């Protein structure tokens, strides 16, 4: 199976000390060229893989947004 190129990355980082991510809370979702080609065929009223991955990242960040765990949470996404 050929390697798929990344089109977008969604990352969540969190920690206690501002700007210092804790690896146990880091998570990444990848959106590939195959996902992109699939999303071109999805009807406008249906969720795309892109929107699902973005939602998963935000849901994970919301779950971490608790001062009992960490003091900060950041969601990044990058189109590559």
pLDDT in tens, the chain (80 residues): 567 899 999 999 999 999 999 999 999 999 999 999 999 999 999 999 999 999 999 999 999 999 999 999 999 999 98
* Cα angle 47, 50, 53; round to 5: 95
The predicted model scores a pTM of 0.89
Eight-class DSSP state of 25: G
**Please, are residues 25 and 44 in contact by the beta-carbon 8 Å criterion?**
no
Q: Which residue has the tokens 């190129």?
A: 5
């Amino acid at each position: 199976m050929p390697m798929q190129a990344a089109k977008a990355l969604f990352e969540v980082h969190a920690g206690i000390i501002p700007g210092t991510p804790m690896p146990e809370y880091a998570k990444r979702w990848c959106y590939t060229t195959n996902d992109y080609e699939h999303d071109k065929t999805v009807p406008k009223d249906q969720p795309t893989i892109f929107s699902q991955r973005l939602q998963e990242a935000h849901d994970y960040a919301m779950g971490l947004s608790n001062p009992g765990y960490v003091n900060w949470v950041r969601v990044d996404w990058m189109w590559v």
